[in-house]
Each structure stands twice: as structure tokens, then as C-alpha cells.
Amino acid sequence: MKYAPLKSINDLNKVKNQTLKSIEMRLTDVEKEIDKYHILVCAGTGCTSSKSNVVRNRLIQELKKRGLSDKVKVFKTGCFGFCKLGPIIVIHPDHTFYCKVDPEDVDEIIDKHISKGKVVEKLLYRSPKDNMLKKRMDEMDFFNHQKRIALRNCGVIDPEDINEYIAMDGYKALANILTENKNPEDIIEEVKKSGLRGRGGGGFPTGKKWEYAKSYENDKKFVLCNADEGDPGAFMDRSILEGDPHSVIEAMIIAGYSINAQQGYIYVRAEYPIAVDRLEIAIKQAKESGLLGENILGSSFSFNLDLRLGAGAFVCGEETALIHSVMGLRGEPHPRPPFPAEAGLWEKPTLNNNVETYANIPIILNKGSDWYSNIGTEDSSGTKVFALAGQINNTGLIEVPMGTSLKTIVYDIGGGINDNKEFKAVQTGGPSGGCIPKSLINTKIDFKSLTDIGSMMGSGGMIVMDETDCMVDIARFYLEFAQDESCGKCTPCRVGTKKLLEILEKITKGKGSMKDLEILKNLCYDIKDSSLCGLGQTAPNPILSTLHYFEDEYISHIKDEKCPAGVCNDLLKVVISDEKCVACGICARVCPVNAITGETKKPPYKIHQDVCIKCGACIPKCPVDAIYKR
Amino acid sequence: MENLTEKEQKNLKNEKVTINIDGSDYEVNKGLTVLEAARSVNIEIPSLCYLKDVNEIGSCRVCVVEIDGTRNLQASCVYPVREGLKIKTNTERVRRARKTAVTLLLANHHRECTTCIKNLNCELQNVSDNLGIRNIPFTGEMKDYGLHNNNPAIQRDYNKCINCRRCEAICRKIQECNVYSALNRGLDTIIAPAFQKDLADVSCIMCGQCVIACPTGSLTDKEYIDDVWEVIKDPNKHVVVQTAPSIQVTIGELFGMPIGSFVAGKLVTSLKRMGFDKVFATDVTADLTIMEEGSELIERITKHPDSLPLLSSCCPGWVKFAEHFYPEFLPNLSTTKSPHEMCGALTKTWYAKKYNIDPKDIVNVGIMPCTAKKYEAQRPEMVSDGFRNVDYVLTTRELGRMIRQIGLDFANLPDSEYDEPFDQYSGAGMIFGATGGVLEAAVRTAHKLITGKEAKVPDFNDARGQSGLKYGEVTLGDKNIKIAIAHGTGNAKKALEMYKSGEKKFDYMEVMACPGGCVGGGGQPILGGKDHKYISLSYRHNRADTLYNIERGKNIRNSYENQRIKEIYKEFLKKPLSDISKEYLHTSFISRSKTPYMKSDK
């Protein structure tokens, strides 16, 4: 599709009104019968990997075959968040939410839903709470406790059509600024008043950051977007870029206007091919529409935007390392001061914000800072997107107001723990964060409260753990990650995190001593205190927080040489219950190392511990569940 | 070098700020870092990765201090001072963090101190001692990468590398050869040439500045001490040794003498006591180099002005730099061999004949300020009548070790004279050891050759001093010649780029690969260990000053006045640029690529 260049706010409004008419059915409950359908197919990475693209193509093909192409339109859309249920499609105007849609289901959807107006029940979501089928998103607990601001357009619009973004008040904030020739100070003041804080992890007040970047005059200045989302399991930024790339682009243009920069870069991971693709399409369409490039909307303001792909180093999420990487250097941090606001890209003043931070900007400027600051807590206004994962029923992407309690997230949105196991802890902040124990489940999450209890907001990873998770092993996992991702520049991080990891490995093997625990603690403090960048300074957090709340687990590993959660293999034995064993001999046949001996029909069989490699192959094969780890 | 001057200019403004260190107020220069400011008021902060004006990256975390208003400890080597800054340098928290940082470095460092080349002159050893580290509580993986030394000059022991990256910085910022960079991540991070190739396979110019910069024994010169002892003890060998001009002002430092001590006489005595058959001064053949290069200059100016600019070629590091990075300038390089190679060539030919010694029994050992000379000596071009010109090259440091091995009290040795026929030299030959010296000497001779008169002002003050790139003009007869002097190959690169763009033209340029010239050479004494805080580029001035001072007192200051040179021409070479000269005293060059390993991989 070719987009005509928009020369003024009136042009923009025209596009808005036209497009709005066509997508109105998605946004409201249409009273009157209309004979048209929109099928929105999630085209995020999660659903795409479970073949939502095949579903979409099949839909288009079948509709065409049946001559329904004019009546039913199929769209790509961004992430709905309920990723566990993917592939997800939503049919408008009746807002029917179908989950786990297989390409094979396409015929039934068309025949039943489209042709006869009947719901395909087998594709509806069944709530584990009341065992009832739920048709619409607003009937589901998963969505009801959420407030989608940054994700406002994900699952609503087609991210590959700029006009749909415009229909949702997209580029309105920018158009107002340019039309009214607004004072940059006033824009920055508005951002400051909103109380928006950096969503990348640090939580630095965004308005203040813009103010600093504005205060350094230079012939060249830059606006950067940090889309190098690296926390294991986190995909907040990816979903925004895949579902609503224009919100980030618009915000960056506004940021450029506010600090007097004419060039921006989005630093995005190459492992996000869909996001990269959508961004490229969005930039192209924005340029065609006259919303990016020279003389935006016919004004005197020009701003260019380019992508820079990162090779997936975690440290490149650190802003100075990111800047090095954008310049084509090895991704390594450098000491601050000078801060990027003073000397960043090519030593020029540079403003760097995270994807989610940017996604909030246009709506803040449209609805006003008061509206935004009324959401959330005093310390942290607005909402936060989390990637909810772990031992929980509903995994996926959620956005909640700041101040929502962990309990609401785990039990209401998350639907509680898998298999009714006992909840143990929530890990937030990824490799830089910590574990929050059950006793603190009523904590209302915002920047301050999470830091106060030894964790941190981070970029939004949230992993729920239950009784089968070993906290020492969790700490070990994160340290392995930190050591692997350390850029190797400063001593505490390069060597220190390795030494932490080695001590943890010793402990998980039952070879640790209480002296090791002391060395571990001291080294944690020194690494935190003296590392060069945030990666090193926060790398010990997973150890410190688990040590603080779960010290008994460490001590069990050391003194009793036992792993209470039954995770650490070296401390476990695979044993056969004498009472349960029926001497069928299956286990002995499965064992790859012939560690099990016994005589058929003469129980019990026995596992020779000196031979057993603890692979666990025998456990699921036992017909009477007589084999277990302890 | 630009860094240096910019920084100095900044300090010259003399703007002061008041900072508070450990409870006392101090007035210090604006633009300093906390580390520099503290040291300027005699408060010592330990450091490892910091190398003044070269490597200021705050990576080792040994120089951390508490700074009021910041949450974490800050690396003082990169933290700028500002008015009212409050700093604490010796709290428990600081001491602990420093100790932890060094302990962690030691936990991954192969501690072979007693057999290490840098034993007793190692910054890591020194800082560990100062911090009182007695115990390394960490066990676990220690990387083992082994020794890499497939080249004649420099060996890399990764097992002793502490990732301070001083080698990387000096190679990138000062020499601009970009040989080293960080590879891999986490504990696997190493500072190495691309693909961890040996230095022989990359665009390394063997200058050895990385060796000078290395705080530990990770980068060292490749030792030939045992080989030299071997030939000395062989009664059938006639072993002659030549000492480069700069050695006489630097080797004293290895024996506790002040920087810039002139010790030519003691140097000769020590070599004689070691058992060398003859001790020669390379300064003599430096005079010869001047005669040849000066003549080449005149020839190019008068007969082939299209072959200008003439570029000096006595520095093997610079020659290799040109071969790798500027092959288009190879026709401009003077074909005159370096004094070192001339001495070698003449001992195996003219000298052998004159003294009736079979050249196959002659061994020529060079005592050089330079690691690149080890490489130069093994170049295929450096052969005369089938005999290698120079058989072994030892650095100043290696000679120091040999002197210690035989227990000589160097500082108290009596003086001796160099041996004939390479004994008398002019001041011009001597100042080869400092940047600008070659050009100055060549211009003096060219002036005489063109005008028949001595140059009016024999001291070209323009040529001296430590500014990295200098331009000037001299009058040779009726011609004005534009000259340029560069030291540090980064500056040579700058000059050549400006020449190519037409921004700054010149007719004759002297290049020395090392900052300061040979007095700052990669084979010179390393001010490590306890003197680490003086390590910068500036101590090289003092060494050069001595050369110039001694030179000023010399009776003969021009190469063409040197009696020995006259003899050599009379008996052997006939005249400068004669066929015999060209056969024995001139050489050729090879175009190499910036990524030689790509070729060798094929």
C-alpha cells in the first residue's frame, strides 16, 4: 500500500476518521447487526512459533475460496498477552476470543462462526476457577485485573498499517506539538509531571533525563531507543515493537523535538526478526506519510530514524555499552561521568530510553500528565508490563497498574500455581533482581517497594516458583547467566562472578562449607560495590536475596548435604520403595547403566547408588510409582 | 600524542578547584582525574590498568575510592575532579574492595613469580605486596592458554595477563596498529590479536610498546641470552657486539642510576668483562647511514624531485608499519640500511677482510633499545655475501640481566673505550637515539654536501622535543626543504594522511615508531614495580636530553667529519651511493597487507 504524504494536522485527522470507521467494530459493542467481520490473528513471536501465520494464511485462502473475502477481513495484530493459549484469534464485532487455534480448525470457524453466527465452543477458554467457558476477553480474570496503556494497541490494530495507529490517536501528540509549535520545555515539563520513570530497569525519572539531554547544546544530538531486551524469558519490549511499533517511533520523534536532536537509532536485538521487520515497515510507512524524515507534517522540524541490530549481548542493554555497540565497537560499558546526556554517541549528547518508556509518551501527552500520574502509586505512576512465567497456570504478558499486589498477579491474573503446588517465591528483575518469598506476597509492586525487599523492578521479567524450585539452584542459574554475559572488562565482574558461580556449584554438589558461605557473602558485597557497570553491580542480587530469605536451603545443602526441593542432582538418590515395588523388572530394563538389579516377582528391586547416574529414566516407567528421588 | 598535548594545555590554563581528600582540602588543577589529583598532592592510590594519557578506562577497579554522593565505589582514574568534591581514599570499604579486586586477579594469574621475567619489576606483584594480600581464598577454574611466541621479537603469555588492556590502548591510540582487542566474554575474555593469531601473523610492527606497557610478565621480549652465552664461550667464534646510541643513556636505570645517566664507558667495560671479543658503537655506522641517506636526499632533490618525499627507514618498526599500512609509500622509503644492519654487513665483509678473520666465524650481536630489531635481524634481505648481518639482538633489558648474571656492580665500573674500527663517532651519529636526531644529522650532512659549508646553526631546535608530529623548513643551498618529524606510528599515519590529502606536504620525513624515538624503544628499561606511577610517556624526555647534552660537548658533530667514515669509504665503499654501497648498505621492502593472516590461511 502506498501512503500519501500528510501535510498538516487536518490531513492526519482525515486519515484518522476514515480508518476509525472501518475498525470501529473492534472497539465497541456494535448494537446493530452488521454483515462484516474482522478476524485478528496474533502475529507476535509466541503465537507465530505455534503456527498462527499458518492459521492466518489458511483463513485468507478459505475465505477467498468461499467468496467471503469482502465480508471477512483477516488482520495481523500484536500480542494479546495470554501466550499460554496461543495461537489466539479474536473475531469482531462480537469480540470472540479463540485460543489454541489449529490450522485444522479454520474450516469450522468459517462454517460455524462466520456462516452461521455460532460460537465454536471447543476453541473457547475454560476458566480453571469456575470451569466455565469464557467468550470475551473482558470475561476472563487474566485480563480483568490488567490495565493496558503501553500495550494499548496490541491485539487491537494491525501493526503493519500506520493508518490503524493513526485511527487510535496515533501521531496526534506529535501533530499537536508541531502545529502549535510547542515549547520543548513545556513538553518535558509534562513528561516530568506525569511521574513516568524509566521502564528498562533503573527507574530514572524520564522527564529529568530529557531535561538533562536538552541542557547540553551541541551541533549534533541523538535519540536512542534501547530495545536490547536481554533478561531470560522477558518479552515486553518485543511485544510492543511487534504490536505497536509506531508508538515508539512517535515518542522518539517527540523526544527529538524536545531535546533538539534530528537523528534517532533503535537498537534492537537481531534475535527479534519479527520486531525488526515490523519496525522496518513502520519506519517506511511513517516516512511515506510524512511523519518521519524531512519537514514532518509540513513543519520545519526534521527527524530521521534508523535501526541498529544487536547481536544479543546482555550487557548491551547497559546504556554506555549500547552506545559503543551502536557505534560499531565491542559492547562494553564505560565509566560515568560523563553521562550519555553529555557525551554519548560519538561523544554527542544522547537521550536513551527503553521501548516501554517510549510507548507511554504519546498517550501521556494526549491524555495529560494528571491522568497518568493518577494511575499507580505515589512513588511510581502508571502501569508496568511483566512477562509472567514459571510454575503458574496463566503465563504470558501482562500490564498492571503500579501498586498491584504480587498476590493479585500470582493468583488472580496468573490463576495460581500449577498442579496446586505450594507457592514459594517470585523472581523479579531477571539476573539483576532477587527472589521475593511467600511472606511478602502482599507487597504492592513499584520501584521502591521492590528495591526495599532486596529485589528490583528490572525490565519486567517475573518468574513464579513453587516448592519444587531450589533457591540455591536458581541463584546458580542466574550467576551462570551473568558470568556468561559479562563483557569481561572489569575485574569484579569478569573474575568475581565466576568465583561466585564456582562456590554455588560447590554448594549444589554438597561440597560447600560454612566458610564458603561467608566468602560468598563478602564477595557479593564487594562485587556490588566496585563493579564498573550495572551488570556487575547487580549480578550478586540473586544470591543475596535468596541468602536473605532462604538461608536455610543453603545450610541444608551444606550441613545436611540435602536439596530440600529435590533439584540438585548430586545431592539426590533415586530409590525404590520396598513396599510399593512389584518386581516387574521394567526399571532394570530401562536403566542405561544397569544400576538396578532384582529378581522378577521377588520384590524389592534395588538401585546401586555407586552406579546410578541419576538420570531418572526409571521413574516415569514404574507402573506403580515406586521409584522416586529423595 | 594529541591526548597528551590537549591535556597539558588544559592543565596549563591553571584553573584550580578545591577538593577534599580524606578530610583535608587541596587546591588542584581542573581537568585532572581524582587519581591524578591525589597523586599530585602525594596521596597514593594504587592502580593497575591506568597508564597516564594512554589507558584511562577504569577497568581493574584497584584505584576505587569513595566519592560523596555516589552509591558505589568509583574508579579514581576516570572520575573528574570538580569544585567541592569529597573523596575518601583509605576507608575499610575501599581497602576491602581493592584487596578483593587484586585477589581476584591473582586467582586467575599463573603465579610463577620466581621464574618470571618480570620478577621484582612487576606492578601486580608490587600492588599485591602493598595491599598485604597473603591468601587467595578462591579455588576453581584457572585458564591455561600457554605461551605464544612464534615470532622473533615478542612473546605473549596469556596466563599472566590481567586484562588491564594497556597493550591494547597503546597499540590502538599511540601506535594505531590496532593489533590487540578483547575477544570472548566473561572469564574467557582475553586481549589478543584477531582470532588469537600470533603477532607474526597480524599487522604487528614488533615495536614492543605493548611490552613496555604491560604491568606483568604477560608481554615480554623474546630472550636470546642463552644463545649469546653459548657463542661467547665458543673459542672458535669471533664475537663482536655493537651498542645502539640510546643504550648509553638508558641502561644505567636498570642498576638504580637516575633516568638519563650517561654510562657509555661502563657499558663498554661490562661487555668486555662478559667476554665479547670486540665492542663496537653502532653510532659509527649511524654516521655512515647519514652519509648514505643524506646523499640519497640530495639525489632525490636535485635529480628526482618526483621521488620525494624521502622517508627515513632506519627504524624497523616504522618500516614494517609502512609495509603493512602504506605500501604506496614504499618507493619513498630511503633504501639505506639501518646503522645496526650496516655494522653487521661491514663486520662480515670489510672488517673480516681487514683483520683477516673468516666471516663464518664472526658473530655480530646487537644491543638494541628495540624489539623490532630482533625481527629486522631475521629479515631475509639482511644478508651480506651469504652471511646474516646480525646474528643476535638483545634488548637493553636483556643486557641488564646478563650483567646481573655475572655479578657486575655496573654503577661502579670503570670506563673503557670502544674498539677499533667502530669506535669514533660524531655527535650526529649519537643523536640517532632520540626523535628528530636522524633528520637533524642528515640535514647537517646534506647541507655540507650541497653547499660545501657547515650548516650555520648545527642545532635544529625545531627537530627536538617531544611533540608527536613536527614540521619545519631548512635551506639547502638555493632550495627550501620542508621537513617533518614523527614519532609513534600513529603520528606517522597522521602525517601521511595529511600528505595524501594535500593538507600538509613535506620533502623529507623522519619517523621513529616509538614515542620519543629509540630512547623510548620497546626494548628499553621498564619503569615497573615500585616506580609504576611515573610510567607515562614523559620520562622519555630525560633520556633524550642527555643524548643532546653529551652531543653538544662533542668535538666532531657532523658525520662527514668522522675519520672512521672517511676510512671506510677510502678502503671499501669508494663514495656514498657507489655500487659497493648499494650492494652492502642498501635494502628493499615488501608490501604486506593489513590482515596478513588472511593470506596465510589460504
Considering A439, A466, A493, which residue would you say is the last residue of a domain? A466
Question: Which residues of chain A lie closer than 8 angstroms to B105, CB-CB?
Answer: 491, 495
Asked if B97's CB is within 8 angstroms of A489's CB, the reply is no
**A286 domain-assigned:** yes
Same domain, A585 and A549: no
Same domain, A237 and A325: yes
Question: Which residues of chain A lie closer than 8 angstroms to B188, CB-CB?
Answer: 488
pLDDT at B463: 58
Range B226-585 classified under CATH 3.40.50.1780: yes
What is the CATH number for A510? 1.20.1440.230
| Distances, alpha carbon B165 to alpha carbons A630, B183, B394, in Å | 49, 12, 26
Residue ranges, chain B, pLDDT below 70: 1-13, 455-466, 528-539, 599-602
What is the CATH number for A401? 3.10.20.600
Question: Which residues of chain A lie closer than 8 angstroms to B80, CB-CB?
Answer: 337
CB A97 within 8 A of CB A135: yes
- Active site positions of B, annotated: 293, 296, 314, 334, 373, 376, 381, 518
Query: Phi, psi at residue A531, to the nearest 5°?
Result: -70, 160
A541 phi-psi bin (left φ>0, alpha ψ -120 to 50, beta other):
alpha
Instruction: Out of A118-132, A542-556, B131-145, give the one with best mean pLDDT.
Output: A542-556
pLDDT at B457: 52
**A3 domain-assigned:** no
**Shortest Cα distance, chain A CAs vs residue B79, angstroms:** 7
Break chain B into its structural domains and give their ranges. 2-104, 108-221, 226-585
CB A43 within 8 A of CB A52: yes
Pick from A500, A529, A535, A538 the residue to mutate for testing the B interface (most B CBs within 10 Å): A529
The residues with which B485 forms a beta bridge, in sequence order, are: B470, B510
pLDDT tens digits, B175-187 = 999 999 999 999 9
Residue B246 has which C-alpha cell?
Answer: 640510546
**A497 domain-assigned:** yes
The residues with which B484 forms a beta bridge, in sequence order, are: B471, B509
Count up the domains in chain A and report the number.
5
- Give the whole-angstrom CA distance, residue A260 versus residue A218: 9
- Give the whole-angstrom CA distance, residue A567 versus residue A562: 10
Same domain, A186 and A323: yes
Residue A486 has its nearest CB partner, among B80, B97, B186, at B186
Using 50, 70 and 90 to split pLDDT, how confident is the model at A1?
A: low
**Shortest Cα distance, chain B CAs vs residue A520, angstroms:** 10
Is cis: bond before A604, omega within 30 of 0?
Answer: yes
What is the CATH number for A588? 3.30.70.20
pLDDT at B11: 53
pLDDT tens digits, B435-473 = 888 888 888 888 888 888 776 654 555 555 557 888 888
Asked if B72's CB is within 8 angstroms of A529's CB, the reply is yes
| Distances, alpha carbon B274 to alpha carbons B220, B305, B403, B408, B422, in Å | 24, 49, 8, 9, 19
Percentage above 70 pLDDT, chain A: 99
Residue B69 contacts A, CB cutoff 8 Å: no
**Shortest Cα distance, chain A CAs vs residue B534, angstroms:** 23
Same domain, A257 and A169: yes
The DSSP 8-state label assigned to residue A559 in this structure reads: I
Asked if A484's CB is within 8 angstroms of B185's CB, the reply is yes
For chain A, the maximum distance between any two Cα atoms, rounded to a whole number of angstroms, is 91
pLDDT tens digits, A328-352 = 999 999 999 999 999 999 999 999 9
Residue B186 has its nearest CB partner, among A488, A502, A537, at A488
Q: Which of A13, A366, A340, A349 is nearest to A187 (CA)?
A: A366
Which residue's C-alpha cell is 575510592? B65
Same domain, A64 and A192: no
Pick from A314, A478, A499 the residue to mutate for testing the B interface (most B CBs within 10 Å): A499
Asked if A334's CB is within 8 angstroms of B57's CB, the reply is yes
Same domain, A240 and A268: yes
A583 phi-psi bin (left φ>0, alpha ψ -120 to 50, beta other):
left
Q: What ipTM describes this predicted complex?
A: 0.91
Residue A33 has which C-alpha cell?
Answer: 447487526
Is cis: bond before B414, omega within 30 of 0?
Answer: no
Is the pLDDT confidence value at A217 over 80? yes
Q: Average of pLDDT values for A518-539?
A: 96
Q: Which of A205, A140, A145 is nearest to A404 (CA)?
A: A145
pLDDT at B52: 86
Question: Which residues of chain A lie closer than 8 angstroms to B73, CB-CB?
Answer: 529-530
Asked if B104's CB is within 8 angstroms of A495's CB, the reply is yes
Using 50, 70 and 90 to split pLDDT, how confident is the model at A2?
A: confident
Same domain, A310 and A431: no
Residue B388 has which C-alpha cell?
Answer: 646474516
**Shortest Cα distance, chain A CAs vs residue B218, angstroms:** 17
Residue A490 has its nearest CB partner, among B59, B93, B185, at B59
Name, in order, each residue with C-beta under 8 angstroms of A23's C-beta and a sequence gap of 6 or more.
A38, A157, A164, A167
Asked if B61's CB is within 8 angstroms of A529's CB, the reply is no
Asked if B100's CB is within 8 angstroms of A496's CB, the reply is yes
pLDDT tens digits, A281-331 = 999 999 999 999 999 999 999 999 999 999 889 999 999 999 999 999 999
What global pTM score does this model have? 0.92
Angle in degrees, 0-180, between the axes of helices A514-530 and A541-555, rounded to the nearest 10: 170
**Shortest Cα distance, chain B CAs vs residue A438, angstroms:** 30
Asked if A531's CB is within 8 angstroms of B72's CB, the reply is yes
**A2 domain-assigned:** no
What is the CATH number for A74? 3.40.30.10
Question: Which residues of chain A lie closer than 8 angstroms to B66, CB-CB?
Answer: none
Using 50, 70 and 90 to split pLDDT, how confident is the model at A603?
A: confident
pLDDT at A34: 72
pLDDT tens digits, B77-131 = 999 999 999 999 999 999 999 999 999 999 999 999 999 999 988 999 999 999 9
pLDDT at B118: 92
Q: Which of A4, A71, A593 is nearest to A287 (CA)?
A: A4
CATH fold of the domain at B2-104: Ubiquitin-like (UB roll) (3.10.20)
Question: Which residues of chain A lie closer than 8 angstroms to B93, CB-CB?
Answer: 529
- Give the whole-angstrom CA distance, residue A295 versus residue B274: 81
The residues with which B418 forms a beta bridge, in sequence order, are: none
Q: Among the residues of B427-578, which ranges form H helices?
A: 427-430, 437-451, 489-501, 540-552, 563-568
Q: Which of B415, B379, B371, B430 is nearest to B395 (CA)?
A: B371
pLDDT at A73: 94
Asked if A491's CB is within 8 angstroms of B186's CB, the reply is no
CATH number of B108-221: 3.30.70.20
Domain containing A106 equals 30-94+96-135
The DSSP 8-state label assigned to residue B319 in this structure reads: H
Angle in degrees, 0-180, between the axes of helices A355-367 and A172-180, rounded to the nearest 10: 60
